[in-house]
Amino acid sequence: MPNSIFQEIIKSDISTLKLEASAINSVKHEGLKGNIREYGFGKFLSKYLPNEWEVGSGQIQDYQGNQSSETDILLYNNNHIPPILFGNKGFYPIECVSYAIEVKTTSTATEIKTTIDKFKKLQELRSMNNNPQLHRLYFALDSDLTKETELERYKKYDSSFYTDPSITIILVIGKGYWYYNRQVKDNKWYGYWSFQEASIDNYEVAMLLGGMINTLNQGKPQFGYYILPDGNFKIVDSKEI
């Protein structure tokens, strides 16, 4: 059973994240407003990251000189190939990055398509690791959707939705949390998307956090056991690949 103290503290941090984002709605400069919200989500994540992982921002590169677009937030490991930093921005070897994150005030079709294009460039980079795990997260504070789900909209724009999607994790506060994975069933490979519905206290953000920390901390005691309820995810879309 999850630890209620940890859960309540995280709920408080989620509430603070939302309140701080709402407090700057009147800021006219969209770039500045976006930077402040990126900082807010980065601050939220950094409180819970294992010591060897840090929050950064900038451009991911590979050993052949290929470059990604500028990425809002990166989670990188200082024990791997070190980045070159200029203040809080820099150039990050792909081998040291585990999460690339785009943060949006409101999810729209344009933002989805822009993020797909950004992450496609990232997918073209080559890692020296045999099996690199670079997770690509689309995080939004709200959405302009009223009928279809965020996953249904995303599916329309990514032709590799089942095989190698540009975005592998989607979270829109108040709408839900989706993630992509592959599995073998009856000797056949399937690409599938799992879903965690939104809750009144926006605990879907805590579900995302727990999954991220578990991924970063593989082979060690799992933080997720302290905060994650059992069995809440369901597969909402899948296809043989």
pTM confidence score: 0.94
Instruction: Please give the pLDDT value at position 132.
Output: 64
The rounded distance, in Å, linking the Cα atoms of 158 and 166 is 7
The rounded distance, in Å, linking the Cα atoms of 57 and 213 is 19
Structure confidence by residue, pLDDT tens digits, 7-29: 999 999 999 999 988 887 777 77
Instruction: State how far the alpha carbon of 17 is from the alpha carbons of 23, 40, 198, 202, in Å.
Output: 10, 6, 16, 11
Any idea what DSSP says for residue 98?
Answer: E
Instruction: Please give the pLDDT value at position 83.
Output: 92
CA-CA-CA-CA torsion sign (199, 42, 149, 239):
negative
Q: Which of 129, 57, 61 is nearest to 94 (CA)?
A: 61
Tell me the residue range of the domain where 38 lies.
4-240
Instruction: Please give the pLDDT value at position 150.
Output: 97
Q: Which stretches of the chain drop beneath a pLDDT of 70?
A: 130-132, 231
Work out how many domains the chain is built from and give that number: 1
Q: Which of 130, 52, 134 is nearest to 94 (CA)?
A: 134
Burial class, 178, CB count within 10 angstroms (exposed 0-12 / middle 13-18 / buried 19+): buried
CA-CA-CA-CA torsion sign (92, 94, 97, 100):
positive
Cβ pair 150, 176 in contact under 8 A: yes
Helix (H, G, I), strand (E, B) or coil at 206: helix
Instruction: Please give the pLDDT value at position 1.
Output: 73
Q: Which of 146, 135, 46 is nearest to 88 (CA)?
A: 46
Helix (H, G, I), strand (E, B) or coil at 1: coil
Q: Which residue do the tokens 């994650």 mark?
A: 228
Task: Please state, as a whole number, how many other Cβ atoms lie within 10 Å of the Cβ of residue 159.
Answer: 12
Instruction: Please give the pLDDT value at position 116.
Output: 98
